[in-house]
Amino acid sequence: MISIFIQQLRRDGFAQICFAIVIIVIVAGILAPWLAPHDPIETSIRMKYQGSSFSYPLGTDNLGRCILSRLLFGIRTTVFYALLAMALTLLFGCLIGMIAGVFGGKTDEFLMRLCDVMLSFPGEVMILALVGVLGPGIENILLAIVLVKWSWYARMIRGTVIQYTHRNYVRYAQVIGASPGHILKKHILPMTMAEITILATSDIGSVILMISALSFLGLGVQAPTPEWGNMLSEAKNVMIFHPELMLPAGLAIVIVVAAFNGLGDFLRDIADPANRYSHISCQENKTDD
């Protein structure tokens, strides 16, 4: 899968841009304490609404805080927490989906009916309601996202597991007495990793939007912690007089979400054998010409 990814990535310019943006953002978030020119929560009323300069490349906000520094540290609360939420959702959803797919019977029936109950409610409305009940804070956002999204992943992974449980090598492992845990670890999980990766990459963008939206509404990350949605919420109060304050965080959200969505579409395309082989054939025909 990795070799196919590298080969196809070399042929797709847009996917290269998306992949580069994702890597740059992650590295920038990790190195934020060294890249940020100022303390992201340090205020200075004398320096508020400063324009772009060598000391403040993106200017300052209504409290004189460095926008670039807050943007860099905001990667940790916006993107990294989205990645953490997705990891926890995948862990719980994949566990439930694999148990349902492998054991089947009443276990499968009970877990899938539970998924149906969870999927019957609009996801965004449920997350908003849970955060409203639990109270503002990133921990409650993570909990709400996991509780709402796990059922969708469980159903998807369950279908993939059932698909692979009918393969001959899995049936052979069952015949010779291999335990369900051994079958999951050695035969099912490696085959479903590609599907899991594609699902997660495609959905990270929506989780970033959800965290930013809740912070924008005052239900997520609380001030003065830098977070992109929180930065937008603060900038909207002075949007008429200083509309430029909306641009850094707004563009960051749009670019990063688009990059993750583009990367997810690329992974989905290369995972489809028909698309992959047709793409390779087109490249070979161009080479022959």
β-bridge partners, 66: 60
pLDDT at 19: 93
Q: Can you give 221-266 as a three-state secondary structure string?
A: CCCCCCCHHHHHHHHHCCCCCCHHHHHHHHHHHHHHHHHHHHHHHH
pTM of the model: 0.85
CA–CA distances in Å: residue 207 to residues 81, 144, 171, 243, 253: 9, 11, 38, 26, 11
* Phi and psi at residue 237, to the nearest 5°: -70, -25
Residue 4's nearest CA partner among 267, 186, 190 is 267
Q: How far apart are CA 251 and CA 136, in angstroms?
A: 25
**Residue position matching structure tokens 């340090």:** 42
Instruction: List per-residue pLDDT tens for the chain, 289 residues long.
Output: 567 777 778 888 898 999 999 999 999 999 999 999 999 998 888 888 888 888 899 999 988 999 999 999 999 999 999 999 999 998 898 889 888 887 778 888 899 898 988 888 888 888 888 888 888 888 889 999 998 888 888 888 888 888 877 777 777 777 887 777 777 777 777 777 777 887 788 889 999 999 999 999 888 888 888 999 999 999 988 888 888 899 999 999 999 999 999 998 888 777 655 554 444 444 444 444 4
Q: What whole-number distance in Å separates Cα of residue 250 and Cα of residue 254?
A: 6
Residue 25 burial (C-beta neighbours within 10 Å; 0-12, 13-18, 19+)? buried
Amino acid occupying residue 249:
A
DSSP reduced 3-state for 66: strand
Instruction: Encode 166-185: b = buried (16+ Cβ within 10 Å), e = exposed.
Output: eeeebeebeeeebeeeebbe
| DSSP one-letter string for 82-100 | HHHHHHHHHHHHHHHHHHH
Report how far residue 85's alpha carbon sits from residue 91's, in angstroms, rounded to the nearest whole number.
Answer: 10
Please tell me what DSSP assigns to residue 184: I
What pLDDT score does 271 carry? 67
